[in-house]
Chains A and B, each alone.
Chain A
Amino acid sequence: MTQLETHWADQISRTLVIPGALDGVIDDSDFGAGYADECAHSPWYVGLVLRGLLWLVWFGPLVAGPRRRTFGGLDAQEREAWLDRLLSADAYLLRTGALFLKLTVCTVALGDMRALKQIGAYKLDEAGDEETTPSLVPLGKRGVS
C-alpha cells in the first residue's frame, strides 16, 4: 500500500471505530499501518480488493456524495453517514465491499490485547492460564508414551 492509501485507511478506520470507543484503550493504535499489514499478509487478490475499497470510500463521495468532495473533505458526521450509506447500499457488491472493509478495520482495531482485555475476552486476566495441560496424559491412558 502507498503512504497515501495508508493515510486513507487510518482516516476511514477512525470514522468507523471512533476515538473513545472501548473506553479509549485503542485510541493510540496505528490503524493505517494495521490495515496495510492486513493487505500485505492477504492473498494478492484480497489485497487488491482491500486497496480498491479504500479508493471507493475515499473518492465515492466525489461522485455520489451530497457535497462533491472526497472523503477527506467531509466533516465527521458526513463521513459516518457516507459509510452508513455504503453499508446499507442496495447494490450487493457495494454493500458487501463495505462490510468487508468494516470487518478488516474491526479485526485490526480490536485485534489488540488492550481491546480484548477491555471486552473481558478469553480469560486473559486470569493468572496461571498460560500453563499447558500435559497432553500425553490421555495418551498415557492408552499406554502410549
Chain B
Amino acid sequence: MSGFHDALKAGVFVDEADFVVVGSGAGGGAAARALARGGASVVVLEEGPLAETASLGVVARESMSRLFRHGGKMAAFGRATLPILQGRCVGGTTFVNSAIIWRLPDKIVADWVKRFGLSATVDAAALERVYRVIEDEMSVRAVEEGVTSGRQDLLLRDAAAQVGIAGRFMHRSEFGCRGSGRCLHGCPHEAKQSTAVNHLRRAVADGANVFANAEVRRVLIERGRAVGVQGRGFQIKARRAVVVAASAIQSPNLLHRSGVRHPHLGHHFMAHPGTTIMALYPDRVGAWSGASQGYEAIGLRDELGIKVESINVPPEIAAARMPGAGKRLSSYLDRLDHLAVWALAIRADSEGRVRPSLMFGDRVDYQVSSNDLGRLRKGLKRVGEMHFVAGAKEIIPGVFGLPEVMTSPDQLHLFDDAPLDPRAYSMVATHLFGGCRAGIDPATSVVNAHLRVHDVQSLYVMDASVFPTNTGVNPQHSIMALSTVAAERLLT
C-alpha cells in the first residue's frame, strides 16, 4: 500500500521496487515524482523524520534540532569555520528553505554543455518543458506587495531602486502563503510547496512509498551494477536502478561507503557562502512578518557574482549578531523589531572536499578564497550604502576589524580595507554543489551526462552534487528540473 511511513514504527516493509530513491529533497522528490508518474514502482528512503504539520513550532533551536542535519550545527573547516545548513527531514532542505525559484541561468547551461558535455540532460527544450510543468504544479508566483511581502522587502526594493540596482520580488513555490515568516521552521499552513507537500504526495498518489527515519548505509553493487540498498535493519532490491539524491555532502559519501572509487569523488565541493548586514531603522520593521524572503536585488550578479536578499533570520540568531553583552546587548534586543536583515550570497570560485569521517559522520573541508572575499566586501559596502539610503540609523557590518556599528555613510569606505581573511567574516553556506560532478569524461567526472555513475550500471545521482559548477542562483528549481529530465529518461 502506497503512502508515507515511519520506519521507526512500521519498519521498512518493502523489499523490492523498480527504483529505490535515496533522499527526499529537491532531487529525490522530483525524481520520485517523475518515476512514479511513469508507472514505475518507487520507494523513497529519507534518513530524517516526517514532520507533521500540526507539530511545527517557531522556536529556532527546537526546529533546527528536529529538521536540520546535526541540529543546524554542521560546519565546514578551513582557516575559518563555516556553518552549513541542510534540511534533514522528509522534503529535505525544501522543507526548511524559503522556496525561492530560479531557472538555471543560460550562461551556466552553455558552460555546462561546452565544458562538460552535458547536453543530454541540460537540454534546453527538455528543461523548458520540465520547468513549465514544475512551475505549474508547484504554483510558482512572485511575492505580492501587501499580501506576502514584509516591510524589510519593501525597504530593500526602494533602496535598490534608489542606487540603481535591478531587483524583483522573489518568485516562490507557494499556494496560500500568509506571510507568517516561518519558512525555516517548516510551513505551518502547508502553503510552501516543499517536496514533502507536493512532489512526494503526488508520487504517493501514483503508488510510491516514502519511508522516513530510514537511513541508507550503502548501495549494494554486484559485478559493476547497483542492485539495491542496505540500511539500518533493512535491505531493498532495486529491479531497475538506484537513484542517490542525498545532497552534495551525503551523496559522495554514500557512494564512497558503497565502494565507489574515483579520484574526483568528493572533490569540487562548492557553495554560495553568505553573510548578512543587519541595520536598525527608526521605525518598526517587523522583519518576522511576511514571506521569510521576499525581495532580491539581482543587479550585482554580473558585476560581483553576488545576490542580495531580504531574509528574516530567526530573532534568536539575529540577537547573537548584535553587538556586545549585558546592558549593551539588551539595548539592541529591545529594538529587535526595528531590525532589517539583508543577506549577500556569493557565487564563490572556491572549491573544497567532502569525505566520510568516523568521528563526525561527514567531513567538509572548504575555505572561501581571498578573491571571493574581495567581491564580498565590495558587496557589503554596496548593501551598507543601501541600508543608509533606505533610512537606517545604524548598520551592523559583522566584519572583524571594522567598527561593530556604523552610524554614517561616511564610514562605508572602511569596507575597502576589510581583511581578506575568512576568519573576519560571519558566513553561512546554504546552497551546496559538487562532489559527484557530471561530465562526459570518465577521468574527470563521477557521473556521465545521463547522471549515471561512470562504470556502475543502474546507479544514478540526481541532486546538486552532480553540478559541475555552482550556479549563482538558488538551486532548488534546477535540481528538480535536471532530476526530472534524467528520471524521465530512465523510463524510456
Contacts and interface: CB of A to CB of B under 8 A. Distances in A.
B61 interface: yes
A43 interface: yes
Interface string A71-90: 00000100110011001100
A84 B319 contact: no
B333 A43 contact: no
A21 B334 contact: yes
A91 to B, nearest CB: 10
A20 B330 contact: yes
Contact of B320 (A20, A106, A122): A106
Contacts of B62: 111
A145 B201 CA distance: 9
Interface in A89-113: 92, 95-96, 99, 102-103, 105-113
A99 B139 contact: no
Contact of A144 (B179, B205, B426): B205
B232 interface: no
Interface in B273-330: 284, 286, 288-289, 315-317, 319-320, 324-330
Contact of A120 (B73, B190, B198, B288): B288
B189 A122 contact: no
A21 B71 contact: no
Contacts of A144: 201-202, 205
A135 B320 contact: no
14 contacts: A16-B326, A17-B329, A17-B330, A42-B70, A45-B359, A80-B325, A105-B320, A106-B317, A111-B62, A116-B315, A122-B181, A122-B182, A132-B54, A138-B198
A30 interface: no
B181 A121 contact: yes
Given A106-B319, A111-B62, A129-B180, 5 more contacts: A21-B330, A112-B59, A136-B201, A138-B138, A139-B205
What 8 pairs between A and B have smallest CB-CB spacing? A133-B176, A80-B326, A121-B288, A135-B190, A103-B320, A83-B325, A21-B330, A110-B316
B59 A111 contact: yes
Contact of A132 (B53, B60, B71, B138): B53
Contact of B59 (A20, A80, A92, A116): A116
A111 B59 CA distance: 5
Interface string B27-67: 00000000000000000000000000110001111100100
Interface residues of B, number: 60
B178 interface: yes
B137 interface: yes
Nearest to B175: A138
B336 A119 contact: yes
A103 B70 CA distance: 16
Interface of B: 53-54, 58-62, 65, 70-71, 73, 80-81, 136-139, 175-176, 178-182, 188-191, 193, 197-198, 201-202, 205, 284, 286, 288-289, 315-317, 319-320, 324-330, 333-334, 336-337, 359-360, 400, 404, 423, 426
B313 to A, nearest CB: 11
A133 B325 contact: no
Nearest to B177: A133
B325 A137 contact: no
A137 B197 CA distance: 11
Contacts of B179: 123
B288 A132 contact: no
A139 B202 contact: yes
Nearest to A23: B334
Contacts of B53: 132
Interface in A49-75: none
Contacts of A112: 59
Contact of B324 (A20, A84, A92, A130): A84
B59 A41 contact: no
B324 A45 contact: no
A15 B326 contact: yes
A121 B58 contact: yes
B315 A102 contact: no
A115 B314 CA distance: 12
A5 interface: no
Contacts of A46: 70-71, 73
Contact of A43 (B73, B81, B329): B73
Contacts of A108: 61
Nearest to A77: B326
A115 B201 CA distance: 36
A83 B328 CA distance: 12
A87 B334 contact: no
Contact of A96 (B65, B81, B325): B81
A38 B61 contact: yes
Contact of B286 (A109, A113, A120, A137): A120
Contacts of B284: 120
Contacts of B139: 138
Contacts of B58: 113, 116, 121-122, 124
Contacts of B191: 133, 135
Contacts of A142: 136-137, 202
A28 interface: no
Nearest to B292: A122
A138 B137 contact: yes
A18 interface: yes
